[in-house]
Amino acid sequence: MRRLLDTHPRLTWLPVLALLLVVWLIPLPGAAHATTHELALDATQYEYAPGRVHVNQGDRVVITLTASDVVHGFYLDGYGLEQRVEPGVSEQITFTADKAGKFRYRCSVSCGPLHPFMIGELVVASNTPYWRAIGTALVAVGGMLAYLWLTGKNKSFQEVISDARKEGPA
Ligand SMILES: [Cu+2]
């Protein structure tokens, strides 16, 4: 290792880079920020209340689903969750919002003429520290690749010079 560092002194910053990666990647799961998000969701002809729900990626979501007029359903796009709910009988839906983005939830039980328009939206905010860590890692890897590319270029340049000297003056 020492001999390698003597011949390639700039390699010394590679351990620093490795340390940087470790520091950034350890808190990666983002579980420290995850909370349990409990909410009541009421289904009625032809809407949900609330019509839009905001949670953070990684949150455990506990929905207490009720129907206040006729039988309704709840189907969450992207997560494939489905639950039927009858008036007067609340249902609980529990899941982890591990996918970031906007997902529609819609009624899955035909409940009347405007049933197809009974749609709500779940907004899962992406985990910023997670993406910042990924971004830093990509930048670091990009920097390392750039360094290796430059090193390789210098080496071949030196080889070119050395070859030129071997050939000597014409
Ligand atoms: Cu419905």
Last residue of a domain, one of 126, 141, 157: 126
Residues 43 and 87 in one domain: yes
Residue-level pLDDT at 153: 65
**Same domain as 80, residue 154:** no
CA of 35 to the centre of ligand 1 (A): 29
Residue whose C-alpha is closest to residue 112's, from 75, 76, 73, 80: 73
**Same domain, yes or no, for 20 and 37?**
no
Helix (H) or strand (E) segment spanning residue 154? helix 128-167
Q: How far is the CA of 74 from the centre of ligand 1 (A)?
A: 8
Give yes or no: residues 16 and 60 share one domain.
no
Helix axes 128-167, 13-25, angle to 10 degrees: 160
Main-chain phi, psi angles of 37, to 5 degrees:
-110, 105
Query: What is the enclosing helix (H) or strand (E) of 160?
Result: helix 128-167
Q: For residue 81, what are the domain limits?
A: 33-126
Quick check: is 170 in a domain?
Answer: no
Give the amino acid at 34: A
* 83 shares a domain with 63: yes
Name residues with Cβ closer than 5 Å to ligand 1, which is an ion: 72, 107, 111, 118
Same domain, 37 and 53: yes
Distance, in Å, from the CA atom of 96 to the CA atom of 25, rounded to the nearest integer, reads: 22
Distance 99 CA to ligand 1 centre (A): 25
pTM comes to 0.61
Verify that 20 and 99 share a domain, yes or no: no
Residues 64 and 17 in one domain: no
Query: What contacts 42, CB < 8 A, 6 or more positions away?
Result: 48, 49, 65, 66, 67, 68
* Ligand 1 centre distance from Cα of residue 47 (Å): 7
Q: What is the pLDDT along the chain (170 residues), one digit of tens a residue?
A: 566 666 776 766 777 677 667 666 665 554 556 799 999 999 999 999 999 999 999 999 999 999 999 999 999 999 999 999 999 999 999 999 999 999 999 999 999 999 999 999 999 998 766 667 778 888 888 877 887 777 666 667 677 778 778 876 65
How many domains are contained in the chain? 2
Indicate if 134 and 113 belong to the same structural domain: no
Structure confidence at residue 63 (pLDDT): 98
Residues 56 and 41 in one domain: yes
Please tell me the distance between residue 124's alpha carbon and the centre of ligand 1 in angstroms.
Answer: 23
Instruction: Please state, in angstroms and rounded to a whole number, the distance separating the CA atoms of residues 14 and 16.
Output: 5
